[in-house]
Amino acid sequence: MTTVRREVFGQMPPEEGGGEVEKFVLQSDSVRVEILSFGCIITTLETKDKAGQFSDVVLGFDTLEGYTRKHPFFGAVVGRVANRIANGRFTLDGKEYQLFLNNGPNSLHGGAKGFDKVLWSPQVLPNGVRFFRLSPNGEEGYPGDLKVWVTYTLSGGELAINYQAQTSKTTPISLTNHSYFNLAGQGSQDVYDHEISIEADSYLPVDDTKIPTGEVAAVQGTGFDLRKPVELGKHLQKFHLDGFDHNFCLHQGQDRRLVARVFHPPTGRTMEVHTTQPGIQFYTGNNLDGSLKGKGAATYPKHSAFCLETQNWPDAVNKPHFPNVLLHPGEEYNHTTWLVFSTA
C-alpha cells in the first residue's frame, strides 16, 4: 500500500510570479519520497538499509529558497532537452533556432529557465502524483506549444517516473530527472565505496565543452567498461579518471530493461535503474565543491553523489546518426524510468 499526502511547502517569491508550492509525500513500507510542484523536484527519498533503518539518499535543501536559487538541478525534471546542445543551436525544416547559452558555449538542461524552475499543476493519484504544464511556443527558444505530463508512482520499493508530451510544432524533447544519490545517506562525503554497473557496450566521447564528438566508442578495454560491477573510488584511480559525465549508449528498444545497478556494501542498499530510454548519463558530481549548504546543514563536496539520468543522447538534435530526438504534431512522447530500491 502506498499513501499520498499533500502539504504546503512554500510560496514562490513575488518576482517569480508568486504562487504556492506544494509537497507530495509518497510512502510505502520500504520507501518514502517527497516531491514538489516546483520543478517536479524530488527533495527527499528515504529507503531502508540492511538493519531496517531509513536514510535519505538524495541531495537537496530544507527550504524552497534553496531550490529557487542557483543550484545544480538537485532532484529536478529538466527539459525541454536534458543535457547539452552544442552552441545552443539547431536547424529544423530549414529554420535555425538559437537557445540561451548557460553552460559555456552550450545550452544545458533547457536553458535559462527550464522545466526545473517553474510551477507545475499537480493531480493526486491513488499511488502517486501527476504534474502538468504547457510550455508555450518560443519558450527558451524552442518551437511549438508543448503539453507535458510527469507522473511519479510508488509501489513497494519501486518509484516509477513517466514522461508524456504532445506538441503543436516539431520540437526536440528529452526529459529526465536529475536526482543526486548517495546510498550511504545524503551528506556522506563521497561515493567511492559504491559498486556500480551499467549495461552499455558503448559510450559517447566528448570534447572539452562536454559535447559528444559524434563517435560512438566501444567501452571494451577502457575505463568506461562498467558492464561488470566496479568499486567507484578504486576504478577512478585505476584509470586516472577525474569522474564521469558521459552518456552510455543503451540497447535500443521500447521495452523496459535493466540498465544500471548501484550497490553500497556497508548499508546493503541497492538501487536499480530500468528504463525505455536510449541513453543514460552517468555523472559523479564532479562540479560539486562543498559551497552549497544542503539538508541538515550538510555540505556536498566533489564526488559526494552520483546521477544516473535516463535520456536521449546529448546534442542528438545536431547529430542525425544519434537516436531521434524530434517529436512531431500528432505523435506522443512517452518514456518511463523505474528506480528500484532494495537491501542485500
Tell me how far apart the alpha carbons of residues 112 and 190 are, in angstroms, rounded to a whole number: 29
Which alpha helices (DSSP H) does the chain contain, by range? Answer: 64-68, 232-238
Was 197 annotated as part of a binding site?
no
HSE toward the beta carbon, residue 228, CA cutoff 13 A = 3
Tell me how far apart the alpha carbons of residues 343 and 267 are, in angstroms, rounded to a whole number: 8
Was 179 annotated as part of a binding site?
yes
Was 180 annotated as part of a binding site?
yes
SS3 116: helix
Q: Could you give the residue numbers annotated as active site?
A: 178, 309
Nearest one of 61, 57, 73 to 23, comparing CA atoms: 61
What structural domains does the chain harbor? 3-343 (2.70.98.10)
For cell 510551477, the residue is: 119
For cell 538534435, the residue is: 317
Say what the pLDDT of residue 298 is: 97
Was 102 annotated as part of a binding site?
no
Nearest one of 155, 152, 241, 254 to 203, comparing CA atoms: 241
Instruction: Name the DSSP class of 192.
Output: T
Was 103 annotated as part of a binding site?
no
- Whether this model's pTM surpasses 0.95: yes
pLDDT tens digits in sequence order for the chain, 344 residues long: 999 999 999 999 898 888 999 999 999 999 999 999 999 999 999 999 999 999 999 999 999 999 999 999 999 999 999 999 999 999 999 999 999 999 999 999 999 999 999 999 999 999 999 999 999 999 999 999 999 999 999 999 999 999 999 999 999 999 999 999 999 999 999 999 999 999 999 999 999 999 999 999 999 999 999 999 999 999 999 999 999 999 999 998 889 999 999 999 999 999 999 999 999 999 999 999 999 999 999 999 999 999 999 999 999 999 999 999 999 999 999 999 999 999 98
